[in-house]
Structure 1
């Protein structure tokens, strides 16, 4: 009898610990849930974060709104700690936590409220999957029979270009988007498969090609409260060149990428750390695996080059090492005065309009 009572007591204590206010099921791994959603190519980082937090609400044992918001903030913190570049993820987390905090309801019980929050979160994510189509439609009015310059890979930019190709005669210049080369790897293959004329441009040749394009079209990691843009590194210098050449610089951004962040410089971004572009303490160019410049270019771009005396004395590494890539920034900040227009699912916005929209969005 005593052993039975002891067993029942242990089960009772275990049940109480599992249902501790604000706790979440011990089997729930929010980061694994987030990565599971990311396996769907149509789901972007902010939407994956929203869906992961929605599932956290469903699994949470919180009994009050205070406990639920704390659980969401803890979950958002776990997601950010596991992500090298959390800016886009921050947008989704910030939006969902604000939504939960401001959600008007007439539920009889807190359990019913949580059920409604889960329903609304999933409904929003399903609706948001159509935002790229809406942006593509809104962008068509700005695209004629043009030559377009784009940078890095963006799903909303790609959808817009493919949509425009059905109605216009466009050609696209694509930057390499170093250090990871996403522009070359993803953009060119997708554009070529659709029959869109495209050519790869060195990141260092943007100024050279700017006179040949009608406008610049980029995606976004986030659009911030100043009306500025956070996007793949190189976007800022591209915007400066476009401004100098009097060419429009358009940014495409889903509204769930609007972020309450007000950077004043590149070093105010959450991704910045002291190791970015710092000088290595050990090792020099001569200690790296190196070979003649002409040979390096041949292997990198798979085109023949003619050796010359001026090249033979120069040694460069064949490619960037992972350490060298990590020492470079993933994203940069483009000032609002360099952006002609932000085209979003909520309409065509000037940088000032973005600020006004953000204030309204988070004011409930």
Structure 2
């Protein structure tokens, strides 16, 4: 789609999925709105329960009466990796990449393959199905790729008894899922040395791993305050501000355009990431880039909290060098059809504006990310 895409941009396989007889099962239930953004809306957004239905009706009025969610399961229905993935991803505290990892582990358990080659082919097909379900989700694609590398990385599997090899794959898959689910706690512990008494922290949007960092700091009786951006249009900053206030931490809520105004009171910026790319930069919620620019100009450190399953083999060259993640935007007033509205949900922050990345692999400088990616994927 993008003529300027770098060589590591993930392939979309749209032609393959559209020609499959089961492609209807893999389709985005709300065309016109990125599945990536639908997942964020379900987990984080401060919206009414019928928000997605209203947004879908604006895109396709004929589909407004359709029911969301996977079809009902029956005893005779074959295993579906998409249904398994949807079951896990609807859990509010589970990241989309971890949901994909758990779904792929279920593929191994339910497989009826009789050889390692058949099992690996089946697992690869399931991974491709998940990645094509939402090509705009960086963490989903990275999680699938890392899972495939982790469970099949040794040639010794080819010489074992098939049942023993399959059992080992199941153990590895479950272990990888367990490691991924513990990543936030590890990151929170690593970040505590950088949060000092009396500091003011600026956060943007709603990040579960950043919230975990704040929770641990509060439980350690550190004295700090937090500035939360509003996070329009879904106002995810409102939810984060309420969560942090419930910890007994002083919180101030800012409109997104007040970041530069408030930056002289800030000691550090803490943000999450939808994806960490090979350059050491991050893909995150729209507005992260401009916050990093302001912080850099005023010599404030920008810290990123991101799990290792979000490390992706991507090398964006500019803001438009990514698969777009679209979202509906309501300005509260009628917008003439002749006016174009920017609907992208995220931006790219280059590595030169980031100070450190807190990951479950350790505390990294942006320049060290490429080395860790080589270790993870090779």
| TM > 0.5 | yes
* Cα shift at 1:77: 2.9
Question: Counterparts in 2 of 1:25-174, with a 5 A limit?
Answer: 27-83=78-134, 85-106=136-157, 108-145=160-197, 146-166=199-219, 167-174=221-228
Contact kept? 1:151, 1:217, Cα under 8 Å: yes
Instruction: Tell me how far apart the structure 1 counterparts of residues 340 and 266 of structure 2 sit (CA, whole Å).
Output: 29
Matches of 2:253 and 2:160, distance apart in 1: 59
Structure showing greater Rg: 1
Corresponding residue SS for 1:153: coil
SS of 1:147's equivalent in the other structure is strand
CA deviations on 1:332-359 (whole Å, 9 max, x unpaired) are: 1110111100011111101111111111
Structure 2 portions without partners, runs of 5+: 1-75
Return 164-173 or 211-220, whichever deviates more. 164-173
How many residues align? The count is 298
Residue 200 of structure 1 pairs with residue 253 of structure 2: yes
C-alpha contact 1:342 1:349 (8 A) present in aligned 2: yes
CA deviation map 1:81-105 (0-9, x unaligned): 3337421111110101122332353
- Residue 229 of structure 2 corresponds to residue 175 of structure 1: yes
For residues 352 and 77 of structure 1, the distance between their equivalents in structure 2, rounded to whole angstroms, comes to: 30
What CA distance in whole angstroms lies between the structure 2 residues aligned with 1:69 and 1:261? 24
Instruction: Measure how far apart 1:317 and its partner are.
Output: 3.3
Q: What do the CA deviations read for 1:219-249 (whole angstroms, capped 9, x no partner)?
A: 1111111111111111111111111111000
The Cα shift of 1:319 comes to 8.7
| Cα separation, 2, equivalents of 1:327 and 1:72 | 37
Greater RCO (CA < 8 Å, at least 6 residues apart): 2
d(CA) in 2 for partners of 1:234, 1:325: 19
Instruction: Give how far 1:65 is off.
Output: 4.2
Q: Is the 8 A contact 1:69 1:100 kept in 2?
A: no
Q: TM-score, normalised by structure 1?
A: 0.75
The two structures, once aligned, show a CA RMSD in angstroms of 2.7
Equivalents in 2 of 1:130, 1:213: separation in Å? 30
Please state how far the C-alpha of 1:172 moved relative to its aligned partner.
Answer: 0.5
Q: Distance in 2 between matches of 1:193 and 1:325?
A: 40
Provide structure 1 residue ranges, at least 5 long, that are not aligned to the other structure.
1-24, 278-287, 289-315
Partner of 2:53: none
Normalising by structure 2, we get a TM-score of: 0.73
Question: Are 2:277 and 2:315, in contact at CA under 8 Å, matched by a contact in 1?
Answer: yes
